[in-house]
């Protein structure tokens, strides 16, 4: 058998930051990590990732690491670090390429992040994805199977570990090159491109478990909470100027309606045309103080105002005015209260994209109130749809791409068996829904999968409707127009 370590080094030399003179050095450094006894392998590895996997098996057989997900991940990142240029080299090449085009720079960085296994392409390929037609266009349904499940042994070990506060969170820049530990991801092969936004240093990276093409994250150098204000709108516009092929948006900055990481200021972007971006404006209106800004209500299950202008300053001014108006807006007849007992409830999920010579900004109105009837949130997925989706409706889902939990892969298989009157272990919380599906369709072996896909998609549509502040009813749209009048006072 060919020497696996030599083969890995050859691959590193083909694309990494090292030269042929470094070969012996690399061989010895890798032997130090994986041991020197060749492994007994069932098949001969051929591509770079397979050789990387074989080296991890070699390390286990040579007792260099224990066979558990944490140590596998740490060693894997350490190995791929050899194939990854240093942060200064990555930044220099990125910005040199940017002088040719933004696309050339992002393509380089994206391909590097895939090649060195920072973006988990093999795990992402396991995700389930299908479209569902609705009155608002095709919604995108995904069942997220890419993120690894927590290992019980790692959970048990974590309980014995001393608390570590470095890095402060998984979005901090201190993660670049971080070794990782039980319960915290390995980041030896992680790289961040630095850029300036409004005089502050920000980082640009890709998401390791991407939800769509070139899914990227922009992170503040300072560990501070998420916030939506004028500076947010300015930064989003600035980023779309830097990367005109990408949309850029921000999760809302309040619990329930915000994303899963509110403790660190960040935005998300990428090269994907989301369903909401394709939705049309159905009701145009004028902004009396901003004549150079086009405005309208988007035909969408959530409450979305779209602004468009060539004048980025006026666009930011108009968006800030709408945010300020919404933060103070009350409509008790429609359960809309901006605050209770001094706690603010209103914010916006903003998304910016470039269309020809104009900047286009979608402002999604959000309200995080709770009530006795809706303790999880009045404008949050209600109890009858939580068997499919209970988690927060964040930026990506607002735009029409469902990120559904991994549990649904096996649970929906049991629902299929139930619908076909086969022995099953369907969860009780799916029963009411499954019975309704059965009443609506004649179900057979050949159509059950497609019917279930469509029905899951229509539950997601209900999820978005629940999260909509002004409902898609005559009364709800009357309320929306009432808010538009408030903007123009």
Q: pLDDT digits over 393-452, tens only?
A: 999 999 999 999 999 999 999 999 999 999 999 999 999 999 999 999 999 999 999 999
The domain boundary, picked from 65, 81, 98, lies at 65
Residues 424, 427, 433, 436, CA torsion sign: positive
Q: Specify if 413 maps to a domain.
A: yes
Q: Specify if 176 maps to a domain.
A: no
Mark whether 458 and 477 lie in a shared domain.
no
Q: Give 159's pLDDT tier (boundaries 50, 70, 90).
A: very low
Mark whether 413 and 272 lie in a shared domain.
no
β-partners of residue 355 are 358
Mark whether 351 and 484 lie in a shared domain.
yes
The domain boundary, picked from 15, 48, 65, lies at 65
Q: Specify if 212 maps to a domain.
A: no
Query: Which residues form the domain of 423?
Result: 408-467
pLDDT > 50? residue 155? no
Q: Specify if 356 maps to a domain.
A: yes
Q: Which has the closest alpha carbon to 188: 259, 82, 293, 329?
A: 82
Mark whether 339 and 477 lie in a shared domain.
yes
Q: What is the pLDDT of residue 161?
A: 56
Mark whether 261 and 290 lie in a shared domain.
yes
pLDDT digits (tens, 9 = 90+) for 262-298: 999 999 999 999 999 999 999 999 999 999 999 999 9
pLDDT > 70? residue 151? no
Q: How many domains does the chain have?
A: 3
Q: First and final CA of the chain: distance in angstroms?
A: 78
DSSP-derived secondary structure for 69-136:
HHHHHHHHHHHHHTTS--HHHHHHHHHHHHTT-HHHHHHHHHHHHHHTTSS-HHHHTT-EEEEEEEBT
Q: Specify if 262 maps to a domain.
A: yes
Q: Specify if 266 maps to a domain.
A: yes
Query: In terms of DSSP bridges, do strands 304-309 and 294-298 run parallel, antiparallel, or are they unpaired?
Result: antiparallel
pLDDT digits (tens, 9 = 90+) for 180-200: 998 899 999 999 999 999 999
Mark whether 256 and 358 lie in a shared domain.
yes
Q: Which residue has the tokens 């369907």?
A: 426
Q: Which has the closest alpha carbon to 76: 19, 25, 122, 34?
A: 34
Mark whether 371 and 346 lie in a shared domain.
yes
Mark whether 426 and 488 lie in a shared domain.
no
Q: Give 160's pLDDT tier (boundaries 50, 70, 90).
A: low
Query: How much is the pTM?
Result: 0.94
Q: Specify if 423 maps to a domain.
A: yes
Q: What is the pLDDT of residue 37?
A: 86
Mark whether 346 and 463 lie in a shared domain.
no
Q: Which residue has the tokens 């895939």?
A: 114
């Amino acid at each position: 058998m060919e020497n696996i370590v030599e083969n890995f080094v050859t691959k590193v030399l083909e694309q990494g930051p090292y030269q042929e003179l470094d070969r012996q050095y690399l061989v010895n450094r890798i032997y130090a990590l994986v041991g020197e006894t060749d492994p007994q392998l069932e098949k001969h590895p051929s591509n770079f990732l397979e050789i990387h996997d074989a080296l991890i098996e070699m390390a286990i057989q040579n007792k260099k690491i224990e066979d558990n997900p944490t140590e596998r991940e740490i060693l894997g990142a350490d190995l791929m670090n050899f194939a990854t240029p240093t942060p200064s080299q990555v930044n220099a090449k990125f910005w040199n390429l940017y002088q040719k085009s933004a696309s050339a720079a992002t393509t380089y960085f994206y391909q590097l992040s895939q090649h060195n296994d920072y973006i988990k392409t093999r795990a992402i390929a396991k995700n389930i994805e299908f479209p569902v037609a609705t009155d608002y266009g095709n919604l995108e349904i995904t069942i997220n199977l890419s993120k690894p499940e927590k290992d019980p042994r790692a959970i048990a070990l974590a309980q014995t570990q001393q608390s570590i506060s470095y890095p402060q969170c998984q979005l901090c820049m201190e993660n670049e090159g971080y070794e990782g530990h039980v319960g915290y991801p390995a980041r030896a092969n992680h790289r961040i491109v630095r850029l300036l936004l409004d005089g502050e240093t920000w980082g640009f990276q890709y998401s390791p478990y991407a939800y769509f093409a070139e899914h990227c994250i922009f992170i503040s150098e300072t560990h501070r909470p998420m916030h939506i204000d004028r500076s947010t709108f300015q930064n989003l516009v600035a980023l779309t100027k830097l990367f005109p092929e990408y949309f850029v948006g921000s999760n809302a900055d309040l619990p329930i309606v915000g994303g899963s990481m509110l403790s660190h200021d960040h935005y998300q972007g990428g090269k994907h045309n989301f369903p909401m971006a394709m939705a049309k404006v159905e009701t145009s209106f004028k902004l009396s103080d901003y004549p150079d800004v086009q405005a309208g209500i988007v035909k969408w299950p959530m409450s979305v105002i779209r602004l468009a202008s060539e004048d980025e300053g006026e666009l930011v001014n108009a968006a800030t005015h709408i945010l300020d108006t919404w933060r103070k807006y009350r409509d008790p007849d429609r359960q809309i209260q901006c605050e209770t007992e001094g706690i603010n409830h209103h914010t916006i999920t903003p998304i910016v994209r470039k269309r020809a010579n104009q900047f286009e900004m979608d402002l999604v109105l959000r309200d995080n109130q709770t009530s006795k009837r809706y303790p999880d949130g009045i404008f949050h997925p209600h109890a009858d749809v939580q068997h499919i989706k209970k988690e927060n409706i964040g930026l990506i889902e607002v735009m029409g791409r469902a990120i559904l939990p991994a549990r649904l892969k096996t649970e929906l298989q049991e629902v299929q068996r139930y619908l076909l009157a086969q022995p099953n272990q369907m969860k009780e919380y799916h029963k009411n829904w499954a019975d309704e599906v059965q009443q609506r369709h004649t179900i057979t072996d050949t159509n059950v999968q497609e019917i279930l896909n469509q029905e899951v998609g229509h539950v997601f549509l209900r999820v978005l409707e629940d999260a909509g502040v002004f409902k898609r009813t005559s009364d709800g749209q009357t309320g929306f127009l009432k808010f538009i009048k408030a903007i123009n006072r």
